[in-house]
């Protein structure tokens, strides 16, 4: 990142933090958590302890970080190196990112930036300017991406409350500040689970590793197979509802299943994976030592805030999380994709000087699609 771009972002981030201390708090049990931060063009600084909002706010104003993090884990000695921290437990955190959903819309709002000549172009095999095949992929999230991620959040919420008996008041959903959502589970019976158990929990949530025997289908005695009732809890009831639909149809559907084969039923289960399972990142869930972006802090990939979603259906990140100011800012933009922030359209821009609100300037600079004039 150029020095002038870094300066603009640092000034913008500092003003945001100074004006929005009311959004930024240490989480519960702060003295047992590890904090960390990163500055623009500088590596990670972690193993930090903070005990209060005042200490956190001082860190923000003094260091002007590009990104701020906090552990989901609780430690006896959070400031010591990892082997000496003495892990005590960790909140459950789930990551749902639209880039992992393989959506068709992504090709419409994805471009490439050449690593050789810095030109920006729609995706193709080589740079049209210098013919290089080395480039970074840049994506500007759209409403379809966010809507699809919200659908996965809704499925996850249903699994957490109905299958895993987690109380609603112990679940919080945050927009990640870029392309998805982080779902936190605190004060639950799952705090002490290790990585292996959390991996198995992720498999359940994703409907991964499912086999016909779970649903009474016997491989070597297929005709004597049974089938779950529609009102059963967990996987069995969900599969029954999807395959059977209603009690009146059950006898006919079961006959059709038994007239088929074990392999065909396995294929049917595989096809239900994305219907019944929530598409989370399992590596995030099983990591009991990860530090996560702090709620209320800014995401350097977008300039958006990681913010609590009180109503997931009505939440709009392009207005609700776009909190930098609207001071007119001159930049040079190479952004071939149109986007919308705060109900205002921007782009496409073809390597041109423009004047835009600071929140839009910061967004494009963070994406690597603009620079200061």
Active-site annotation, residues:
95, 97, 281
CA 52 to each of CA 58, 59, 62, 207, 353: distance values in angstroms, whole numbers, following the listed order: 10, 11, 16, 40, 44
For residues 317 and 269, give the distance between their C-alpha atoms in angstroms, rounded to a whole number.
34
Alpha helices by DSSP H, listed for 140-281, are 143-158, 195-206, 234-243, 250-258, 262-271, 273-276
- Cβ atoms of residues 37 and 45 within 8 Å: yes
Q: What is the DSSP string of 48-109?
A: E---SHHHHHHHHHHH--SEEEEESEEESSTTS-GGGS-EEEE-EEEEEEGGGS--GGGGGG
> Phi and psi at residue 74, in whole multiples of 5°?
-110, 135
How big is the chain by its Cα radius of gyration, in Å? 24
Tally of residues, the chain: 373
- Cβ atoms of residues 33 and 78 within 8 Å: yes
- Cβ atoms of residues 7 and 280 within 8 Å: no
- Cβ atoms of residues 30 and 52 within 8 Å: yes
Residue 55, token pair as written in the block: 């200490």
For residues 183 and 289, give the distance between their C-alpha atoms in angstroms, rounded to a whole number.
17
How does DSSP classify residue 168? G
């Amino acid at each position: 990142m150029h020095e002038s771009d870094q300066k603009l972002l640092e000034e913008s981030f500092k003003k945001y933090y100074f004006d929005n201390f009311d959004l930024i708090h240490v989480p519960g049990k702060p003295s047992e958590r590890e904090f960390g931060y990163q500055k623009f063009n500088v590596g990670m600084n972690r193993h930090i302890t903070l005990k209060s909002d005042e200490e956190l706010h001082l860190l923000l104003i003094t260091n002007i970080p590009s990104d701020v993090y906090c552990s989901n884990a609780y430690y006896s000695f959070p400031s010591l190196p990892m082997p000496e921290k003495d892990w005590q437990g960790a909140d459950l955190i789930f990551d749902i990112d639209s880039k992992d959903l393989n959506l068709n819309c992504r090709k419409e709002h994805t471009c490439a930036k050449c690593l050789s000549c810095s030109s920006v172009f729609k995706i193709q095999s080589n740079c049209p300017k210098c013919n290089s095949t080395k480039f970074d992929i840049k994506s500007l999230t759209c409403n379809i991406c966010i809507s699809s991620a919200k659908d996965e959040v809704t499925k996850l919420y249903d699994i957490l409350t109905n299958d895993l008996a987690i109380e609603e008041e112990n679940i919080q959903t945050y927009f990640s500040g870029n392309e998805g959502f982080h779902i936190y589970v605190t004060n639950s019976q799952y705090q002490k689970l290790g990585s292996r158990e959390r991996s198995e929990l992720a498999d359940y949530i994703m409907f991964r590793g499912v086999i016909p025997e779970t649903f009474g289908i016997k491989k070597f005695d297929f005709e004597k197979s049974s089938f779950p009732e529609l009102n059963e809890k967990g996987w069995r009831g969900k599969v029954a509802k999807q395959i059977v639909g209603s009690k009146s149809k059950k006898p006919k559907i079961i006959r059709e299943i038994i007239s088929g084969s074990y392999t065909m039923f396995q294929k049917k289960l595989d096809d239900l994976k994305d219907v019944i399972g929530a598409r989370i990142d399992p590596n995030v869930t099983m990591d009991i030592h990860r530090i996560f972006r702090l709620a209320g802090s800014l995401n350097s990939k977008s300039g958006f805030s990681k913010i609590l979603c009180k109503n997931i259906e009505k939440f709009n990140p392009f207005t609700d999380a776009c909190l930098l100011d609207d001071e007119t800012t001159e930049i040079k933009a190479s952004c071939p994709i149109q986007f919308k922030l705060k109900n205002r359209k921007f782009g496409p821009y073809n390597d041109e000087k423009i004047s835009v609100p600071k929140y839009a300037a910061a967004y494009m600079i963070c994406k690597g699609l603009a620079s200061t004039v």
